[in-house]
Amino acid sequence: MLLSACLTGLIRVLVGATPRWVGCRPTPALRIYFANHTSHMDTLALWCALPAALRARTRPVAARDYWAGGGVRGYIATRGFNALFVERHADKRAEDPLAPLDDALARGESLIIFPEGTRSAQALPNPFKSGLYWLASRHPEAELIPVYLENLYRSMPKGTFLPVPLTCSVRFGTPLARVADEDKTAFLVRARQAVVDLA
């Protein structure tokens, strides 16, 4: 709890992380927040932008290879923002990589995911990977909320370790509409466009 409070405070001082509820309200509905990914602070910034009550039942999804180590990063990820780990490398996967995410949604926990799978170097996101599609089709009850993180690629670009203080806003868009029988590619393009539209 104390660590979470410190992290939120630090993020506020460094990058503000002001929430802008453009297309939806902060409600306790079951949600999958999906956002553009440009820096290591993205997870924390999006998580901090949520009201405390929602934060407690929203799990950021983090890459196991980066965040789940034993050191400071692992400690921050598990104790600080209660991350769910996902295996990025296919050869290390023993089970369906999305299984822990399914379980969390089934327990009523919302998720924060970065569908690009890795950080991009510019303001607009790279093409989305298919994880979001599978989660969305398996959980029709969840609202899909596009989120755009502004400015963070300037604060802590890929390859750097010290954040530059900048005011960053976190824009929450309108829930992505569900289209019957939409194929994977079309869905992923539409989802990415929803994030781009918030930029």
In the complex, minimum distance from the CB of residue 11 to another protein, in angstroms, rounded to a whole number = 13
Is residue 15 within 8 Å of 168, Cβ to Cβ? yes
In the complex, minimum distance from the CB of residue 155 to another protein, in angstroms, rounded to a whole number = 9
Token pair, residue 124, equals: 């607009």
Residue of 167, 178, 184, 199 that binds another protein (CB under 8 A)? 167
Is residue 135 within 8 Å of 113, Cβ to Cβ? yes
Choose the stretch contacting another protein; rule: CB under 8 A; options: 41-49, 105-113, 152-160, 177-185: 152-160
Choose the stretch contacting another protein; rule: CB under 8 A; options: 74-82, 139-147, 154-162, 182-190: 154-162
> How many Å apart are CA 167 and CA 12, to the nearest integer?
9
Check residue 12 for interaction with another protein (CB under 8 A): no
Check residue 20 for interaction with another protein (CB under 8 A): no
Which of 90, 113, 104 is CA-nearest to residue 42?
Answer: 113
Is residue 58 within 8 Å of 111, Cβ to Cβ? yes
Q: What does the binding site for another protein look like in residue numbers (CB under 8 A)?
A: 18, 121, 151, 154, 157, 160, 162, 164-167
